[in-house]
Amino acid sequence: MSSLAKTTAVANTHRVMAFINQAGGSCKTTTAAAFAGLAAEAGLRVLLIDLDSQCNASKICGYEWLPGVGRPYLYDLAEDHPDLKANLDRRTVFEVLAGEKVPDGPGKQKKLDVPMERAIFPARYRVSPDLNDHSPEAFAPVPNLDIVLGSELMADAVEEIAKQEMGGFWLRRKLKPLIDANQYDLYLVDCPAALDRGLSAVMVAAPEIIGCVTPGGKEMEALVKASFSMEAVRNIYDGHDVFPELVGIIVGRVHKKKDGTVNRFKGGAAAKRVSDLEEAYGSVVKGMIREDVRVGEAYDQQITLSQYDPTSEVVADYRAAAVSLGIVAA
Ligand SMILES: Nc1ncnc2c1ncn2[C@@H]1O[C@H](COP(=O)(O)OP(=O)(O)OP(=O)(O)O)[C@@H](O)[C@H]1O
Ligand SMILES: [Mg+2]
């Protein structure tokens, strides 16, 4: 499937952006993955980082998990596929966070540090229509896009962070070698809803925070809380060059009219909330993304939205939002 996208890149120094909202289902993963796809098509080297134990970003990038097993199909397939053997040495973001226990003499174990590099996989999109086909031939590479594989074990991330000295710096510390080596132009961090204290580690690593909301819930309240968290993080890490900033709000699943403007009458209270958000946050609102079944379809088929239907209106919405955040050029 080739892309018709005419998007071109603008950024030439690396950026780290995190997609947050403590409300579940607020389009964080959809938005992070949509931007990742658009930026990669525009020629930026993109790393999407999946911090969520649901591993949805990993799934969109072609790596589905065996439920309850704690590792993707890929590992099981690797034994039979010589070209996948190298993947047996790969890890997930959880080992990057927590380190890896290895035997160290009889009855003893030691913990090894795992660099982020080891959890990076090249993003793939599904070319086989058979969703149960997990063979390497079922996928083709997505140029310029890599994924740091998520893990079910990230449900325990907060405890792991608490165990570590300066745990709040774990993500920043792990990204640093990649940034120093100029490996990527854009780092996009897909956060789980319930990140609790793990959120400060994200804010320490990502100067640019994107609040993701839908017009359906208590999102305004959640955004206000996020703003407090950012201020607290700036204060706690005063002197450590930590300045998280709410640079954008993306409103997903909005009802739009045929001309692309927000339908303020459809959806009643939801439409009113969109207006309230614009009033409260003004130009920080960088995008209104329309409700579209293609989002779910692309997700199920493990393909980025802009590859699935490059000329669709929902992709145009995401492209406009990416332009207004300066990720890609108009
Ligand atoms: N523009 C859209 N139109 C239709 N459906 C959408 C749209 N954006 C997102 N969705 C759907 O809404 C649901 C939630 O989206 P998503 O997974 O991106 O949210 P999330 O904030 O990452 O959720 P979680 O907190 O569980 O990680 C998904 O089923 C997704 O397919
Ligand atoms: Mg998600």
Would the CB of 252 count as within 6 Å of ligand 1?
A: yes
101: pLDDT strictly greater than 60: yes
Would the CB of 22 count as within 6 Å of ligand 1?
A: no
pLDDT one-digit tens code per residue, 173-198: 999 999 999 999 999 999 998 777 78
- Closest approach atom of ligand 1 to CA 291: 3
- Dist. CA 33–CA 52, nearest whole Å: 13
The residue among 237 and 5 whose pLDDT is bigger is 237
Q: What is the pLDDT of residue 82?
A: 63
Would the CB of 25 count as within 6 Å of ligand 1?
A: yes
User: Rounded mean pLDDT of 36-41?
Assistant: 98
- Dist. CA 209–CA 80, nearest whole Å: 42
Closest CA to 184 of 4, 316, 46: 46
Q: What are phi and psi for residue 284, nearest 5 degrees? A: -70, -25
- Closest approach atom of ligand 1 to CA 191: 27
**Tokens in use for 265?**
């009458």
Output the CA 28–ligand 2 centroid distance in Å. 5
272: pLDDT strictly greater than 80: no
- Dist. CA 230–CA 225, nearest whole Å: 9
Would the CB of 316 count as within 6 Å of ligand 1?
A: no
- Dist. CA 60–CA 269, nearest whole Å: 32
- Closest approach atom of ligand 1 to CA 33: 18
Which ligand is nearest the CA of 23, by number? 1
Q: What is the pLDDT of residue 75?
A: 58
Atom 31 of ligand 1, residue of closest alpha carbon: 296
pLDDT-above-70 percentage for the chain:
86
pLDDT one-digit tens code per residue, 217-253: 667 677 888 888 899 999 999 999 999 999 999 999 9
- The one-letter amino acid at 263: N
The residue among 73 and 130 whose pLDDT is bigger is 130
4: pLDDT strictly greater than 60: no
Q: 7 in helix, strand or coil? A: coil
Q: What is the pLDDT of residue 72?
A: 60
Residues with CB under 5 A from ligand 2 (ion): 28-29, 56
Exposure of 203 by Cβ count < 10 A (0-12 exposed, 13-18 middle, 19+ buried)? buried
Q: What is the pLDDT of residue 218?
A: 67
**For the domain 10-329, what is the CATH code?**
3.40.50.300
Output the CA 25–ligand 1 centroid distance in Å. 5
2: pLDDT strictly greater than 50: no
The answer to whether the Cα torsion of 255, 321, 149, 234 is positive or negative is negative
- Dist. CA 31–CA 36, nearest whole Å: 8
Output the CA 296–ligand 1 centroid distance in Å. 8
Would the CB of 300 count as within 6 Å of ligand 1?
A: no
> Structure pTM?
0.91
- Dist. CA 252–CA 155, nearest whole Å: 25
DSSP 8-state code for residue 66: P
- Closest approach atom of ligand 1 to CA 31: 18
Q: What is the pLDDT of residue 71?
A: 58
Q: What is the pLDDT of residue 3?
A: 42
**Tokens in use for 181?**
């080596």
Would the CB of 219 count as within 6 Å of ligand 1?
A: no
Q: 282 in helix, strand or coil? A: helix
Would the CB of 64 count as within 6 Å of ligand 1?
A: no
- pLDDT-based confidence at residue 327 (cuts at 50, 70, 90): very high
280: pLDDT strictly greater than 90: no
Q: What is the pLDDT of residue 266?
A: 63
